[in-house]
Chains A and B, each alone.
Chain A
Amino acid sequence: MLLLAIDTSTTAITVGLHDGSSVVAEAATLDARAHAEHLAPNIRDVLASAGAEPGDVTDVVVGIGPGPFTGLRVGIVTGRTFAFALGLPVRGLTSLDAIAHEAWLGGRRGELVVATDARRKEVYAAAYVLGDDRADRVTEPAVSRAGDLPAETRGLPTAGRGPTLYAEALPHAVAPLDVSGGALADLAVRRLRETAPAPGGLQWVDPGHGFDGLEPLYLRRPDAAPAPPSTKSTLG
């Protein structure tokens, strides 16, 4: 097995490669404005450092957010296209879960909030319980102002960039800040092991089977975005 994990939902443009027993290579570039520039070179470099060819990859997993839309799409379309080109299964995982999983891998237990930067003075957040053998998400990912999260939630240890941006509302900052490709890959391999395999021959893996589908978690409608209609028409 050689599982390629990709996430562009946070400031980190991150890639991880997992051979089924451990993370064999990982890369991350911190650049919130240039996801499409760094992602493909990062995948190329990660494969090269593991001595692997694109054709050696057996599984693709992408973080489906929530995250700022433009960057988020870069990771999802890259994962979908890479997998399509090589005829591989491609699966999605909620990106916030990868942050909670990394905290869990680091030894953290108990309650945890993950709050990432949603821009426009808001955070994407979900609550977790980190048990002995896994991290479980206990609320659906949502977007809101940090100060509008329930008071009992805001006092909990909080991973992601939310606490660094809104220290007053989220005073208890803990690691990690961003998604890491290695943690996402590790989470994906565990989910693959824990759950029944998807029906054979399926190239495009639907939600279920421990995964979350391949649709981006936007959590905001485009209408809500104050993007004025472009001055460009559709005449080509």
Chain B
Amino acid sequence: MSDEPLVLGIETSCDETGVGIVRGQTLLVDTVASSVEEHARFGGVVPEVASRAHLEAMVPTIERACREAGVRLRDLDAISVTAGPGLAGALLVGVASAKALALALGTPIYGVNHLASHVAVDIVEHGPLPEPTMAMLVSGGHSSLLLVPDVTNDVRSLGSTMDDAAGEAFDKVARVLGLPFPGGPHVDRAAREGNRIAIDFPRGLTTGRDMERHRFDFSFSGLKTAVARWVETRQRAGEAVPVADVAASFQEAVVDVLTRKALLACKEHDVDHLLIGGGVAANSRLRALAEERCAKAGVTLRVPRPGLCTDNGAMVAALGAQMVSKGRDPSDLGLPTDSSMPVTLVQA
């Protein structure tokens, strides 16, 4: 137990200041300070507001994580930090802080990919990842299907969104329906009272030529527009908008495409484990439909608990611990941030 690496992970790619500590495959603490309330009035994350909040929260969050885990900084074996992708100014705060920790403590530093971290976090939840694993990451910032032979150095992109991320579509539809930001949980809640088949909203990139050229890609912008137009038409006619039905039908269109493509990817690549991560993985209908379809296809579904699906430091620590365990070389102290770091690059 004690020879497993003790790793502290820092995540600041968007608006959550996350610090997690992992020993090997065991999660010791996951501490998050969020600036989401400061962004609510803008209807989206304002990068400068996020960066300011990261600076204020950074050291107190590290301090709190160590205290709650009963870990002394000098006992750490490595520091791990999100190097990208994400908001440039936000990433810089976390990376600078991680470097200062590594330098002061004399530990190696691993600058890692945010998306690979979303995959690796399930190791501390459900144990080692089967190799390969199929991973679908759905959030406000990303919608990707990844084939993952080795989360520490071999992550392959099968497809991603052509326009909006899935979570973004939730935010925009929430706005159309007069629901608060962030939209995901509010649409989910409203949808529980609604009829999923009330309105037949379009499923992007699922037919004919699209399935040839964009087999595992997604598109949610047409769906978002269709919802807005449908609601507008009702409003113009002076009719009440059935919010629950619109939410349920929209949500169904999203999760139908996501799960359909994810399972098709499992089948075609002969992979029998599907991992879903990212904030949208907290969506109750996505979980239910994925369970149903995975069971039917004989695929084992892995979804971390909601707190580990949204951005957090534990996922970065989890990937860092894998890097150490697999003997990967640490990053240089001069490692750069990369706001558009490709998903195929696990380490900076």
Measured as residues with beta carbon below 8 angstroms from the partner, the interface class of chain A is 35 or more
Interface string of B37-70 (1 = CB under 8 A from A): 0010011111111011011001100110000000
A233 touches B140 (CB 8 A): yes
A34 to B103, CA, bound (A): 18
Q: Say yes or no: is B106 at the interface (Cβ < 8 Å to chain A).
A: yes
B92 touches A236 (CB 8 A): no
Q: Which residues of A contact B106 (CB under 8 A)?
A: 54
Q: Say yes or no: is B309 at the interface (Cβ < 8 Å to chain A).
A: yes
Q: Say yes or no: is A161 at the interface (Cβ < 8 Å to chain B).
A: no
**Set A43, A84, A230, A235: member contacting B139, Cβ < 8 A:** A235
Q: Which residues of A contact B100 (CB under 8 A)?
A: 40, 43, 77-79, 81-82, 85
Residues 231-282 (chain B) with a chain A CB within 8 angstroms: 278-280
**Set B104, B170, B183: member contacting A82, Cβ < 8 A:** B104
Binds B, one of A67-75, A118-126, A170-178, A179-187: A67-75
A232 touches B101 (CB 8 A): no
A80 touches B59 (CB 8 A): yes
A81 to B59, CA, bound (A): 6
A233 to B181, CA, bound (A): 9
**Set A35, A38, A81, A232: member contacting B140, Cβ < 8 A:** A232
Q: Say yes or no: is A139 at the interface (Cβ < 8 Å to chain B).
A: no
Q: Say yes or no: is B88 at the interface (Cβ < 8 Å to chain A).
A: yes
Q: Say yes or no: is B141 at the interface (Cβ < 8 Å to chain A).
A: yes
Rounded to whole Å, the gap between the CB of A181 and the closest CB of chain B is: 15
Interface core residue of B97, B168, B184 (most chain A CB under 10 Å): B97
Q: Which residues of B contact A37 (CB under 8 A)?
A: 334-336
Q: Say yes or no: is A197 at the interface (Cβ < 8 Å to chain B).
A: no
**Set A35, A69, A81, A216: member contacting B97, Cβ < 8 A:** A81
Q: Which residues of A contact B16 (CB under 8 A)?
A: 234, 236
Binds B, one of A97-105, A130-138, A147-155, A221-229: A221-229
Residues 16-73 (chain A) with a chain B CB within 8 angstroms: 34-41, 43-44, 54, 69-70, 73
Interface core residue of B89, B92, B100, B103 (most chain A CB under 10 Å): B100
Q: Which residues of B contact A188 (CB under 8 A)?
A: none
**Set A76, A84, A227: member contacting B62, Cβ < 8 A:** A84
Q: Which residues of B contact A84 (CB under 8 A)?
A: 59, 62-63
The secondary-structure label for the interface of chain B is helix
Q: Which residues of B contact A222 (CB under 8 A)?
A: 46, 48-49, 52
Q: Say yes or no: is A219 at the interface (Cβ < 8 Å to chain B).
A: no
B337 touches A234 (CB 8 A): no
A231 touches B44 (CB 8 A): yes
CB within 8 Å for A70 and B89 given contacts A77-B96, A236-B14, A236-B140: yes
Interface core residue of A39, A229, A233 (most chain B CB under 10 Å): A233
**Set B103, B167, B181, B309: member contacting A40, Cβ < 8 A:** B103
**Set A35, A74, A78, A225: member contacting B48, Cβ < 8 A:** A225
A77 touches B58 (CB 8 A): yes
A229 touches B42 (CB 8 A): yes
A234 touches B101 (CB 8 A): no
Q: Which residues of B contact A1 (CB under 8 A)?
A: none
A227 to B88, CA, bound (A): 13
A234 touches B34 (CB 8 A): yes
A77 touches B15 (CB 8 A): no
Q: Say yes or no: is B129 at the interface (Cβ < 8 Å to chain A).
A: no
A167 to B59, CA, bound (A): 41
Q: Which residues of B contact A227 (CB under 8 A)?
A: 46-48
Rounded to whole Å, the gap between the CB of A226 and the closest CB of chain B is: 10
Q: Which residues of A contact B309 (CB under 8 A)?
A: 236
A67 to B102, CA, bound (A): 26
Q: Which residues of A contact B27 (CB under 8 A)?
A: none
Rounded to whole Å, the gap between the CB of B80 and the closest CB of chain A is: 15
A69 to B90, CA, bound (A): 11
Rounded to whole Å, the gap between the CB of A132 and the closest CB of chain B is: 38
B104 touches A38 (CB 8 A): no
A232 to B89, CA, bound (A): 14
A69 touches B87 (CB 8 A): no
A231 touches B96 (CB 8 A): no
A193 to B54, CA, bound (A): 33
B43 touches A235 (CB 8 A): no
Cβ-closest chain B residue relative to A82:
B100
Other A-B contacts than A234-B140, A235-B279, A236-B16, 14 sampled, CB-CB below 8 A, are A37-B336, A40-B334, A74-B96, A77-B59, A78-B97, A81-B58, A81-B97, A81-B101, A82-B104, A232-B45, A233-B184, A234-B181, A236-B118, A236-B310
Q: List 27 A-B contacts (CB under 8 A).
A: A36-B337, A37-B336, A40-B96, A40-B102, A40-B333, A43-B100, A44-B333, A70-B89, A77-B58, A78-B99, A84-B59, A85-B101, A216-B55, A227-B47, A230-B45, A230-B46, A231-B44, A231-B168, A232-B87, A233-B140, A233-B141, A233-B168, A235-B167, A236-B141, A236-B167, A236-B309, A236-B311
Which 6 pairs, one residue from A and one from B, show the smallest C-beta to C-beta distance?
A: A233-B140, A235-B279, A236-B279, A235-B167, A229-B44, A236-B310
